[in-house]
């Protein structure tokens, strides 16, 4: 089951919300009223014990901040989060591929434990530190292969494509 994040910036600090109002705030995420009731049971403060349950905006903001950061994993500069291992892991042989898009660097590498591809974004200012920390290469260099990709059969087929000419066809009727 996917844990949803509910941005606290939608909530107005001095407003009082009932359960339906909170569901209306997060209608795009499909927040159900029973989920809000569960939050109340788990510690979301209410104004009083009456019906409908009223919740101050600042209490909701405080609860959502704790809720959204509860399962986050901090990673060091040279680590990435592995979704298969569900933890911060080092990169296999420190080999990475870097792709530049819109003032950010998308870095990908393989998990040292399970060899799953991991991704992380960095700022453009971090590029010199990335080059010092990792072995930066292309996408093909990420894989631990002993043979160079230029010596494979795929490269040879791309250089000399096979042609289908009528000279190689069997003699006789082609369709029969």
Residue 57 phi/psi, 5° resolution? Answer: -60, -40
Q: What is the CATH number of the domain that holds 36?
A: 1.10.10
Encode pLDDT of 13-45 as tens digits.
Answer: 999 999 999 999 999 989 999 999 999 999 999
- Evaluate if residue 164 carries a pLDDT over 80: no
Rounded to whole angstroms, what are the CA distances from 107 to 38, 79, 101, 160? 38, 11, 11, 34
| Tokens linked to 70 | 């509860």
Range of the domain at 86: 79-142
- Are residues 63 and 36 part of one domain? yes
DSSP code, position 170: P
The answer to whether residue 159 is domain-embedded is no
Domain match, 125 and 99 both: yes
pLDDT digits (tens, 9 = 90+) for 90-112: 998 888 988 888 888 889 999 98
In which band, very low, low, confident or very high, does the pLDDT at 142 lie, cut at 50, 70 and 90? Answer: very low
Number of domains in the chain: 2
pLDDT band at 64 (very low <50, low <70, confident <90, very high): very high
pTM equals 0.50
- Strand residues in the chain grouped as ranges (E): 16-18, 54-56, 79-82, 87-101, 104-111, 117-123, 135-137
Average pLDDT over residues 116-136: 88
89 and 58, same domain (yes or no): no
Domain presence at residue 17:
yes
Q: How much is the CA Rg of the chain, to the nearest whole Å?
A: 28
Q: In angstroms, rounded to a whole number, what is the distance separating the alpha carbons of residues 121 and 115?
A: 19
Same domain, 88 and 130: yes
């Amino acid at each position: 089951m996917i844990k949803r994040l509910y941005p606290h910036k939608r909530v107005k600090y001095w407003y009082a919300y009932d359960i339906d109002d909170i569901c209306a705030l997060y209608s795009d995420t499909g927040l159900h009223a029973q989920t809000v009731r569960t939050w109340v049971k788990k510690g979301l403060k209410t104004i009083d014990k009456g019906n409908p349950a009223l919740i101050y905006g600042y209490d909701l903001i405080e609860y959502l901040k704790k809720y959204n950061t509860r399962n986050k994993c901090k990673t060091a500069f040279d680590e990435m989060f592995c979704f298969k291992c569900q933890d911060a892991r080092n990169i296999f042989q420190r080999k990475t591929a870097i792709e530049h898009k819109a003032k950010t660097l998308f870095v990908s590498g393989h998990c040292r434990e399970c060899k799953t591809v991991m991704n992380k974004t960095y700022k453009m200012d971090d590029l010199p530190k990335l080059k010092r920390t990792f072995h930066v290469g292309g996408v093909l260099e990420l894989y631990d292969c002993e043979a160079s990709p230029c010596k494979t059969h795929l490269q040879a087929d791309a250089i000399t494509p096979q042609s289908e000419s009528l000279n190689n066809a069997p003699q006789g009727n082609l369709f029969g």
